Structure 1
Amino acid sequence: MLSAVTISLVPEARGGPFVYWDDLAEGCREAAARGFDAVEVFPPGADAVDPLVLRSLLDEHGLALAAVGTGAGWVKHKLSLTSPDATVRDKAIAFVKSIMDLAARFEAPAIIGSMQGRWGDGVTKPEALRYLGHALFKLDAHAADLGTTLLYEPLNRYETNLVNTLADAVTLLNAIGAERVKILADLYHMNIEETNLADAIRGAGSRIGHVHFADSNRRAAGLGHTDFAPVVATLVEIGYAGYLSAEILPLPDADTAARQTVAAFRRLVG
């Protein structure tokens, strides 16, 4: 397993769970200085990141690109894959595809989290799940065309009322026959929704393609009450060899959060 840390370039997301903010070059420099293997980037849109500049920064600092987030699709552009408006849904799919295209240039996946939306306000739960399944089916095909994967993240009940557990995500992906969509297991969301973190991970098995390494309070690992030892042991058991990525609040400050994450990662993973 490898370590990663988040960099947000989205002003509208300020206050969210990202360690570094606003400055891609500085974020990469700090990530490398702290000893991370990779960065996870959240841009306002695909055109906000120059691939040549990003490649140069990654090479300069010996980093990989772990994933690219699509959260700005909702936070900034108000696009949802489950909107009652078909035009908005189409725009949402196009936005995700553009992020996938960017990420694929670095052999990295894109992430769908908040863009999955929720049911209500004119959309029933069956309708919302149908819209979401349709979108993921189309995006699965796009991932196949790109030769990459897409990460789908179950969120806690306060952020979506659609899919909250890893088991529900597995059911959804199996129902649409997804081959290129993997599950992002976010330990913060799981702490709220899962009865047992290790059992949930074991149940999802090879469907897991990425892990957000966050404690129960969404701070760095070791600053809450999550017992990470059985979590990491189960990830090893299922053969997971991807990233543990710090999508966490930068508390008490970004540098302390980064240092704490790296220390916890080295203690647990080696």
Structure 2
Amino acid sequence: MQVGINLLCLSGFIEEQHLGQLRQLKDLGYDGVEVPVLRGAPEHYAWLGGQLDAIGLRRTTTSVIPSADANPVSSDPTIRHAGQQHLDWALDCAIALGAESIGGPFHAPIGQFTGAGPTEDELKYGAETHHAMADRASANGIYLSLEHLNRFETYFLNTMEQARAYVDRVDHPAFRIMYDTFHANIEEKSQPRAIRTLGDGMGVLHISENDRGIPGRGHINFAEVFSAVRATGYDGWVTLEAFGAGLPELAAATRVWRPLFPDFDTLFSESITFIRNGWAEAA
């Protein structure tokens, strides 16, 4: 497996000022980083990819649907087209970055609700869009890892039963699911059972504590998570997700208003030790 870290703990947009912390992550033994692709142009991500190459870090990305005006599952064809264009942009940036996977909830706008679960039409529109996106991604050596969210952040994809059915509906070898322990802690009665339900559909494993702070300091049973994941044969990205003191791009949806870890040095060093030890002990 490879250990990564979601850089949303630093910022929603990674710039030159963050390069020192990226070098620190490499020195601590991280294999790669999960780069937020929320704004900017492919040229910026090409520059960042060059910097990551020089540091020696591999990379994946995380993206979202930014608004109801660019929703790929909308019943309005104009809005749906705008959503597809947004996903094309996210893929352009990931290609420029040299990413291995595109993750995140790029299915429906975060924090927007219809008063019901996903309709058959919404599932159909989403599957068509994600199948086409997976086609283009795979042609560029990238796979998709669509993230489920808890019911307070989205209505589209909440449980692993839904996620497994959606993987089968999209039906593309480059389409997978980003399993997130924070969201599963809310929605699933048993994380090991949820992981078994997803099976070989996992693309990225997000390690996120119940308060989104440092893993191992909360109440999620990561020992059973690691054991269940290893039992599926998964051997890909195991990526830390912890949030800082407020992200303008996501705070309104995720309700992250306060620091969830004491400092970056503690977050970086304690988390990688916890993940590597937990994975090894689950063998």
Question: 1:213 Cα shift?
Answer: 0.8
> For structure 1, which runs of at least 5 residues remain unmatched after alignment?
8-17
The answer on whether the counterparts of 1:220 and 1:249 sit within 8 Å (CA) in structure 2 is: no
**Aligned ranges for residues 72-87 of structure 1 at < 5 Å?**
73-74=65-66, 79-87=70-78
Number of residue pairs matched?
257
* Matched letter for residue 243 of structure 1: W
Question: 1:115 Cα shift?
Answer: 4.3
Question: 1:56 Cα shift?
Answer: 2.7
Aligned to 1:236: 230
Cα 1:52/1:97, change in 2 over 3 Å = closer
Cα 1:107/1:48, change in 2 over 3 Å = closer
**What do residues 212-262 of structure 1 show as CA deviations (whole Å, max 9, x unaligned)?**
111112112112101111111122111111111112123233332222211
Give distance in 1, aligned partners of 2:272 and 2:199.
25
Give distance in 1, aligned partners of 2:69 and 2:24.
31
The answer on whether the counterparts of 1:213 and 1:246 sit within 8 Å (CA) in structure 2 is: yes
The answer on whether the counterparts of 2:214 and 2:270 sit within 8 Å (CA) in structure 1 is: yes
SS in structure 2 opposite 1:224? coil
* Matched letter for residue 93 of structure 1: Q
Aligned to 1:19: 9
Question: 1:43 Cα shift?
Answer: 2.7
Aligned to 1:111: 103
TM-score of the two chains, using structure 2 as the length reference: 0.81
- Larger CA deviation: 18-27 vs 93-102: 18-27
Aligned to 1:262: 272
The answer as to 2:105 corresponding to 1:95 is no
- Larger CA deviation: 232-241 vs 128-137: 128-137
The answer on whether the counterparts of 1:186 and 1:212 sit within 8 Å (CA) in structure 2 is: yes
* Matched letter for residue 205 of structure 1: G
**Aligned ranges for residues 1-270 of structure 1 at < 5 Å?**
1-7=1-7, 18-21=8-11, 22-24=13-15, 25-45=19-39, 47=41, 50-65=44-59, 67-71=60-64, 73-74=65-66, 79-105=70-96, 106-113=98-105, 115-117=107-109, 120=114, 125-250=119-244, 251-270=261-280
The answer on whether the counterparts of 2:199 and 2:232 sit within 8 Å (CA) in structure 1 is: yes
Aligned to 1:10: none
Give distance in 2, aligned partners of 1:269 and 1:218.
19
Q: Could you say what the CA RMSD is over the residues aligned between the two structures, in angstroms?
A: 2.5
* Matched letter for residue 20 of structure 1: L
Q: Percent identity?
A: 24
TM-score of the two chains, using structure 1 as the length reference: 0.85
Give distance in 1, aligned partners of 2:100 and 2:168.
23
